[in-house]
Amino acid sequence: MGEMIEFPSNGSTGQGYLATPSSGSGPGVVVIQEWWGLVPHIKDVADRFAAAGFTALAPDLYHGESTTEPDEAGKKMMAMNIEKAAKDMSGAVEAVGQRSSNAGKVGVVGFCMGGGLALLLGTQRPDKVKAVVPFYGVIPWPAAQPEWSNLAGCAVQGHYAEQDDFANPDTVRKLEADLKSKGVDVEMFIYPGTDHAFFNDTRPDVHDQQASNQAWDRTLDFFRQHLT
């Protein structure tokens, strides 16, 4: 359904996977990868958004590289140039906005590493990002601590696992409280009995179909509410 495209990235060029709805245009959503890279699962998520009527763009933050090994994925995540990634994500906001039905309102969804980056992007582009959906999102980089008050004009809906060493329920509730204290419209869902990455249907060891369906329906409703 989609295709790889290039787009301006603050003086350089970014690339990503663009999925367009059959109508030709819909609300714009940036889809941010897990620590594995721009793998088929993330492209499939973009395709699913397009099938639901959205214009979706998944920027390739590893620039052509990916892995299936957890140790290697962790190294790639920690070695990632946050400033470069921020430029690529910001470029993706512009690129998907130009192709969407409402350039002034863009949504961002991300998974694991991408969930943390989705929140970070929302703080960096409050001019256009109006809805952020982190799935079990974490921000592991000490130098990338967001200014949450920048999200005051943005709505946040989070989806987290009950059994998650990366973002446990206490961490999630603290983040929710921090965001609310900054005036952010936020709601965090914690799915009972689920593990980190429960939405990833290419990982049968952790995938939870019921929780995934519920989170997906909530995400679509949330984006339709805030981007149209």
Residues known to be catalytic: 112, 164, 196
CA dihedral 75, 175, 9, 14 (to 10 degrees): 50
Q: What is the DSSP letter of 21?
A: -
Per-position b or e across 168-180, b if 16+ CB within 10 A of its CB: beeebeebbeebe
Q: How far, in Å, CA of 43 to CA of 171, rounded? A: 29
Q: Around Cβ 139, how many Cβ atoms within 10 Å?
A: 18
Per DSSP, helices labelled H in 66-203 are 70-79, 82-99, 113-124, 169-181
Both tokens assigned to 195: 């593990």
Q: How far, in Å, CA of 168 to CA of 191, rounded? A: 11
**Paired sense of beta strands 155-163 and 106-111, if any:** unpaired
Backbone conformation region of residue 203, classed left if phi is above 0, alpha if psi is from -120 to 50, else beta: beta
